Structure 1
């Protein structure tokens, strides 16, 4: 994204609300201050839907993160309804009960990595695999079919090829629809089977929810595990602190969620309103800059430094209020399982390349590492 400039060539900067041009060449507003971003997450004057989605400004071609989603007229009511349906299945108590299984999955992946020996690609061996295995198990995706979903989830996150992303989403939706039909005929003890029991969900509605959960419950955790591990491995002081004090893993997880670059979330003004004195018009794009908010020096002391014992305000990586991520409890269980086993089983692990040489997923809107070479 680039800042809009005045006639004199100077950036236009309205305090923490700035005019931008996105990578798609569309204009919008960037909100970067922590308190404003947190407030706007729950402000009903903003939403994901747009009354004319075909002409709405976009930040990328990505299916889920690039532009408007949903029906403008029913967005808020539908969001509340979907939250009510999904939240019980991902409640903290449910995820605490699932923690042991996630730890088993992580242990198995680390076993395989250890058997194959040093050096290894931590991203490919663990980060890219665990979240899909976990969400697949919760939903009831057959074991032999889980790895096949990765191609679709990867393609759906592509930032610059809308056709590729949309095609992958369509193929994944078809698969989820066949899975729903199978669950209705032969239910099991899993989330999708329980969704199929609801009279208010059609087959297509249940399939859409399954696709969203498989994508969102996989892609974001993959990114966070990879980026968090990279930041921890390159900060040897913090790495050693966690090795010596494994009881800090919960706090370390929150700090490693805060520190990496996060996705800028596109929202659309549902009506004219003001933020910090800046007038935003109905239909305009508003990007919530999570990276800047999570590094706001007014909220976090020395914000660019990793401190796994930090006790300051909560990060906004999972959103806030009514837009707080339903899957956050699962993501926390996954990240804690990875980081705790990483330092306990591989206390001497280091990056096998210079941090600047770690290859990134430049073509994905969600970002993240493409490979994380390590030695021990």
Structure 2
């Protein structure tokens, strides 16, 4: 009997589909069709990763939220069974508190929560509006076509996070280039290590300056925790690195990806172009966050105790991957989920995750996207792609999905 069970388990392993899965040709805004097929079959299935490990893939919305909110599901990359994305992840340590569990996760996260509170973020809206308007002025005055990524999508969140942290924007080229290496799936461990150490060394120097000469910025607040003995200098550097990367890379990709999707859906683009209603703009942001998803390799966790869910038992020491991009396309939650509808109430989406590890910077990201989507298409109503969609290079080779370049004209 044991031999039979072992043989059945081996056969199941042989048939586990590989993850990640390729998107369909010509459908860069939709999840891979293989994910849709797995979702239709059930909420959980085993998949095979690059290293031969076989975590559970969670494809339905309800089960994703349940597991992301379960304390028995760990974000600690050192836990047995944690599903790594690539060999390049090895050897560089944890990216601050997002790869930790409570209580240490909560202790560190609380140190930087205040600057991302809704009221604090709203106070930044006029600054972000000036940045967006200034960049649009530059685009209108310059040559065309222009790469929207380089001229618009990247500078906006970079300028904002630099202002928050107190990092000179003149240094943005260095951290943007190194960040590209850190999030590229094809980068070697050595390449990622060099890039990480360069940015970390830079931020460590910035923090050292704040220890003796604090300013009115987020880095000074982090440095103050070092002075108080609540953080080591290494922990403070890791925290600053997390905020710098998360503060510009994710939003920049969402700006470019959202614009490309809207250009492919002119009826939806017209809704934004022809309105000054902040409620419609806010609704559009939520729908674009649901419809598109830059965290395309899933939120990864390790299970610390047996969990019974959806008629299955996920055992302690097994890994789970919540593919939120297909969770946000779950027809049990969102009617006609593959249709982009900016008037839809999409606020229940899981683009920012769920539970204690839900994205800290989501109020800032929402506000930046509201300003961008509410301004760009009204200021440049004839905005159009300057190449065929088939010629646009999408970031299939990165941990964060997006677009490398997006040529536009008007």
Q: Compute the TM-score of the two structures, normalised by the length of structure 2.
A: 0.84
- Residue 243 of structure 2 is matched in structure 1 by 213
Structure 2's unaligned 5+ residue stretches are 1-9, 18-36
Please report how far the alpha carbon of residue 137 of structure 1 lies from its aligned counterpart in structure 2 after TM superposition.
0.8
Q: Supply the distance in 2 between the matched residues of 1:50 and 1:181 (Cα, whole angstroms).
A: 29
* Distance in 2, Cα, partners of 1:253 & 1:156: 27
For 1:249, the equivalent position in structure 2 comes to: 281
CA RMSD between the two structures: 2.7
Q: Find the aligned partners of 1:5 and 1:231 in 2 and give their Cα distance.
A: 41
1:177–1:203 CA contact under 8 A, matched in 2 = yes
Inter-partner Cα distance in structure 2 for 1:223 and 1:158: 14
Query: In structure 2, how many angstroms separate the alpha carbons of the residues matched to 1:130 and 1:73?
Result: 27
The alpha-carbon distance between structure 1 residues 205 and 270, as it changes in their structure 2 partners (threshold 3 A), is same
Indicate the SS of the match to 1:365.
coil
**Distance of aligned partners of 1:61 and 1:159 in 2 relative to their CA distance in 1, 3 Å threshold:** farther
Give yes or no for the alignment of 1:139 onto 2:169.
Answer: no
Give the length in aligned residue pairs: 371
Q: What secondary structure is seen at the aligned counterpart in 2 of 1:102?
A: helix
CA-CA distance at 1:6 after TM superposition: 3.9
1:76 is the counterpart of 2:76: no
CA distance in 1, matches of 2:128, 2:265: 26
Q: Pick from 256, 263, 277 the counterpart of residue 233 of structure 1.
A: 263
1:290, 1:170 → 2: CA distance?
A: 30
Give CA deviations for 1:83-129 in whole Å, capped at 9, x if unaligned: 21111111010000011111112222222222213311111111122
1:111-164 deviation digits (Å, cap 9, x = unpaired):
222221331111111112211111111000023223321112111101132332
Structure 1 residues 229 and 323: alpha-carbon distance in aligned structure 2, compared to 1, 3 A threshold: same
Give the CA deviation at 1:254.
0.9
**1:101 counterpart (124, 127, 151):** 127
> Cα distance 1:303–1:350, how it changes in 2: closer, same or farther (>3 A)?
same
- Does structure 2 conserve the Cα–Cα contact (< 8 Å) formed by 1:60 and 1:365? no
Partners of 1:344 and 1:9 in 2: CA distance: 51
Task: Give the Cα separation in 1 of the matches to 2:243 and 2:96.
Answer: 16
Give runs of aligned pairs for residues 281-292 of structure 1, distance below 5 A. 281-292=315-326
The answer to whether the Cα contact below 8 Å between 1:17 and 1:29 also exists between their aligned partners in 2 is: yes
Q: 1:270 to 1:72 in 2, by over 3 A?
A: farther
Aligned in 2, Cα 1:38/1:8: closer, same or farther, shift over 3 Å?
closer
- CA 51–118 in structure 1, closer or farther in 2 if over 3 Å, else same: closer
Partner of 1:317: 351
Residues 1:360 and 2:360 are matched in the alignment: no
Deviation sequence 1:1-58 (CA, Å, 0-9, x none): xxx97489697967210110124443111101111111222211111214457x8542
Give the corresponding residue for 1:123: 149
User: Deviation at 1:170?
Assistant: 1.9
After superposition, where does 1:136-285 map in structure 2 within 5 Å? Answer: 136-161=162-187, 162-198=189-225, 199=228, 200-247=230-277, 248-263=280-295, 264-285=298-319
Distance 1:240 1:277, change over 3 A: same
Query: Secondary structure of 1:30's match?
Result: strand
Give the superposition deviation at 1:253.
0.9
Contact 1:48/1:267 (<8 A) preserved: yes
Change (3 A) 1:23 1:116: farther
Normalising by structure 1, what TM-score?
Answer: 0.91
List gaps (5 residues or longer) in structure 1.
Answer: none
Change in Cα spacing, 1:71 to 1:99, as seen in structure 2 (3 Å) is closer
Please give the alpha-carbon distance, in whole angstroms, between the structure 1 residues aligned to 2:196 and 2:180.
Answer: 10
